[in-house]
Structure 1
């Protein structure tokens, strides 16, 4: 990038700001209305363009990139057709508090001002349709011009990282090349700071709340990841008298072998009854960055009262009914640690762990089922792994595992859009190249976003994909009408799929028996370029947690 007389182009300014936030990959597709923008962004060293197979996949990849990269995600689409293809992915980021900037390349200002009947429009002269649609699933939006570009870009990015939610930026074709002052680039962007008076009052009240506390139980949620404060939470676990349970969207936020870990809390479906009781009966419960929904509470079978707990949220804190607006999550966790250090906490009994996936004795030629598949995976997983598990049999199978050290589980328990994880783990792989990506995805879900498989292998981070081939939508079969025609999918020849998408140099393996699975796992561990393993499972079989989940959904749907 060349700065001429203190000026850069709008595209260069935007790319530089993204770099300053830690974003080094931008996903998307080219279109005639964003080509100027892409050309300008390409002149900024350090930003890498990653072409996606479609805009929905680009949105999912940007989401996955932001979830594990402790920064943000970015995607660029073209006006109208490209933007709307990405809308579902942006809505998922909004629902699950993931900071993503969606940059739309728009027609030139003259065309929009004159209501020109251009392609990609609805031919009614209204160029505001699509930004109004995005207004429902973003925290801020702007269509910029030359005079406002720098300030509006900064405003949107600060809103994105402060709220940890998506924003929409529309860049007209001619504005992308317009010069703006580079002076602001010397001032780093930062999320909004805590209100100092509210933070001080909260810290005093928190110390008073825990003045006689003998123990604290923390329920850790996914917003801890959004703020990148996993280490702060891990340091809490080193204090005496503190136990930490995680929600499904933040599984293994504390290494599950840690003596302070209570594992994953899912209401009545929690694997360890003693862990569940420790949360539900806690004298002092602290909810840090939690998400409250049907899927995170075991269909509202939780036994704790959220209203009486201490809550540390992204932009406020609460002690019972007293709310402290403007207290940011980062500062609230530090205040919690200070209060805990002053409290008379005592080391309590360590909960005995419950075996993750009970091993079933089977003959080598026995057909695979979920109760024999997941114990093999438990033994195969290694430290330093990013695991993505698709909504359905995959996610609820992995939730019952104990993840190895320095590993994360990435899923989408709130939005639960099938097909999310394949593009998302591609984004996560680029954000965290120090971890091996491992994906578990069902055959029905994979058919939605399979186009991104080629990119996953082409970028060479040695990924392993487990394609759970169970002949259709097993989760829906468990909920209702298991033999209905709408539960079926077209059968694909999965062994040929990787090569069809350009991955003809990876290990393609199949396993329908225990012996075949053990062979496939051994070969996948040693693979140099990655592996694709088709795992044949019974149509009507499901992991323990999915059986419980499906019964819960079925009961709710009856009312």
Structure 2
């Protein structure tokens, strides 16, 4: 750039987004953000991904960040727009997803004069929504003319550092305000590790591994957020290393890798060998793991986390000794180096693990009603390498968790926040982030009705998405927990096959399966389908996958105490 070059705030922000990989921006226009949008979309390489509502925009930005291993971004307008996005942003905060929420706000003068504007409560308080945003953001700023560029950089850096959402309010008059463009020469990055802390961690780790017979790792979703899948895979290539994943990190390591133990979920882990390997590990290494009812099989893990080696985004711990200032990338690199130095002998071949795949369904007469016991083994056989499997909270997610995903595949879900409707817009974000991976969405009919407005956009992307709608006449997961026949468990029946053309996706092939034979025919047809497809799967209202039945029993027990 030329010396002393300047750019508008909107264009400066667009360049910063491109630098951190956020090439698509989701959201909606509103009168307070129009100038900002005009400036942002004028920058080459930044693509506007318009959404049907702000909640869907937040979900789509989240899916884009998760699957793309980058940051997401959305633009909303002040008040009514930003509040609609809050639930989606809260889910990103709960699950460590870096999303920048950019809000077009009233002008600086209107804010200062407390002008009673639309989208307010007419009391002059224009900052109450900023206060709400602070509850679900690691950094929250409203731009000022004297240091707008510095504020942008500070907020983006905080998001990169903590890998959680951040909030940027841009007053209407500042969207076109010129700032120093030379600042863009210096990319924004998370802070580096403290070298002394890294050295201390290395010394302690070497001593701890000296008496170990092998190394077992339980990896969680925070590995994804740091983009360290390749680093963990390099660790897995060393003899004596075994790696299990939590549900939010399923297939973090290809599940056909010799070191893969598959998915660990406490007492409901499909394989006893996997559960024993994790629970009896000495030492157990926790990398980016998170702990909640849904990630531990309702706290049925037997291992003692307090005695483990724990690697988090900004610190490491060996039993009671904590090493603050050690970033996850450096800690995993040290772990890999010390593992190689230690030279563990090979451990057993995980290929002998039993029951690691969905069981083959029992012999049945063709034409029997479709069940989950038939569905998921059929899906297991049908899935191809390089697939992004997106599974909605409830029947879909806990059916997909029991799959063994093919190589180069992901499972996208929301096991901690578990906000129904999340995955349909998130699938759009995933498809834009990694169009070379075919998105395959499994979503229940009740969940899909919450965010169905984004279906047309999802089915119109070039990634050839397939959407399986599990039509089970309502909220099956809630029926399993309590009051299965209550009126509030039912939903209105929709004509699902009519929706794609009605929502603008006119080239979508549609199918339906009510029996095992029809499912077989549909999956065979999909192998030759070159465009998007929607498949309605009719299932009984009380039928559910193995894992969900176990988990809902835990929820029921918890809710009665």
TM-score, length-normalised on structure 1? 0.99
Cross-structure match for 1:226 = 225
Cross-structure match for 2:274 = 275
Cross-structure match for 2:100 = 101
Contact 1:254/1:261 (8 A) holds in 2: yes
Give 1:141 deviation, angstroms: 0.6
Cross-structure match for 2:55 = 56
Distance 1:76 1:31 in 2: 9
Contact 1:212/1:344 (8 A) holds in 2: no
Find out whether 1:319 has 2:321 as its counterpart. no
Alignment of 1:114-129 (within 5 A): 114-129=113-128
Cross-structure match for 1:395 = 397
Contact 2:95/2:416 (8 A) holds in 1: yes
Give 1:519 deviation, angstroms: 1.5
Alignment of 1:272-311 (within 5 A): 272-311=271-310
Give 1:525 deviation, angstroms: 2.3
Cross-structure match for 2:451 = 449
Deviations 1:317-371 (A, max 9, x none): 0000111111111000001011111224111112313241112122221110000
Contact 1:217/1:243 (8 A) holds in 2: yes
Cross-structure match for 2:430 = 428
Contact 2:262/2:356 (8 A) holds in 1: no
Equivalent pairs counted in the alignment come to 558
Distance 1:553 1:539 in 2: 19
Give 1:431 deviation, angstroms: 0.5
Secondary structure of residue in 2 paired with 1:301 = coil
Alignment of 1:29-178 (within 5 A): 29-178=28-177
Cross-structure match for 1:542 = 544
Distance 1:114 1:460 in 2: 48
Deviations 1:368-417 (A, max 9, x none): 00001111100000000111000000000001110000000000000000
Give 1:472 deviation, angstroms: 0.4
List gaps (5 residues or longer) in structure 2: none
Contact 1:10/1:180 (8 A) holds in 2: yes
Secondary structure of residue in 2 paired with 1:174 = helix
Cross-structure match for 1:502 = 504
Contact 2:387/2:437 (8 A) holds in 1: yes
Deviations 1:19-71 (A, max 9, x none): 01111100000000000000000111000001001000000000000001121
Distance 2:520 2:427 in 1: 24
Cross-structure match for 1:526 = 528
Cross-structure match for 2:371 = 369
Distance 2:478 2:491 in 1: 12
Cross-structure match for 1:487 = 489
Cross-structure match for 2:359 = 358
Distance 1:170 1:184 in 2: 20
Cross-structure match for 2:460 = 458
Cross-structure match for 2:198 = 199
Distance 2:2 2:293 in 1: 52
Distance 2:457 2:198 in 1: 45
Give 1:257 deviation, angstroms: 1.2
Contact 2:470/2:539 (8 A) holds in 1: yes
Q: Could you tell which deviates more after superposition, 360-369 or 428-437?
A: 360-369
Distance 1:122 1:534, change over 3 A: same
Distance 2:245 2:41 in 1: 41
Distance 1:370 1:305, change over 3 A: same
Contact 1:362/1:372 (8 A) holds in 2: no
Distance 1:59 1:4 in 2: 37
In angstroms, what is the RMSD of aligned CA positions? 1.1
Secondary structure of residue in 1 paired with 2:301 = coil
Contact 1:279/1:285 (8 A) holds in 2: yes
Contact 2:239/2:343 (8 A) holds in 1: no
Secondary structure of residue in 2 paired with 1:36 = helix
Give 1:459 deviation, angstroms: 2.1
Contact 1:214/1:343 (8 A) holds in 2: no
Q: Could you tell which deviates more after superposition, 346-355 or 254-263?
A: 346-355
Distance 1:428 1:200 in 2: 38
Contact 1:315/1:326 (8 A) holds in 2: yes
Cross-structure match for 1:235 = 234
Deviations 1:82-108 (A, max 9, x none): 000000000000000000000000011
Cross-structure match for 1:555 = 557
Deviations 1:485-512 (A, max 9, x none): 1111111111111111111211110000
Alignment of 1:340-359 (within 5 A): 340-351=339-350, 352-353=352-353, 354-359=355-360
Contact 1:211/1:342 (8 A) holds in 2: no
Cross-structure match for 2:211 = 212
Q: Could you tell which deviates more after superposition, 353-362 or 319-328?
A: 353-362
Deviations 1:207-230 (A, max 9, x none): 111112220100011011111110
Secondary structure of residue in 1 paired with 2:210 = coil
Give 1:4 deviation, angstroms: 9.8
Give 1:5 deviation, angstroms: 5.5
Secondary structure of residue in 2 paired with 1:294 = coil
Distance 1:229 1:526 in 2: 35
Distance 1:272 1:466 in 2: 27
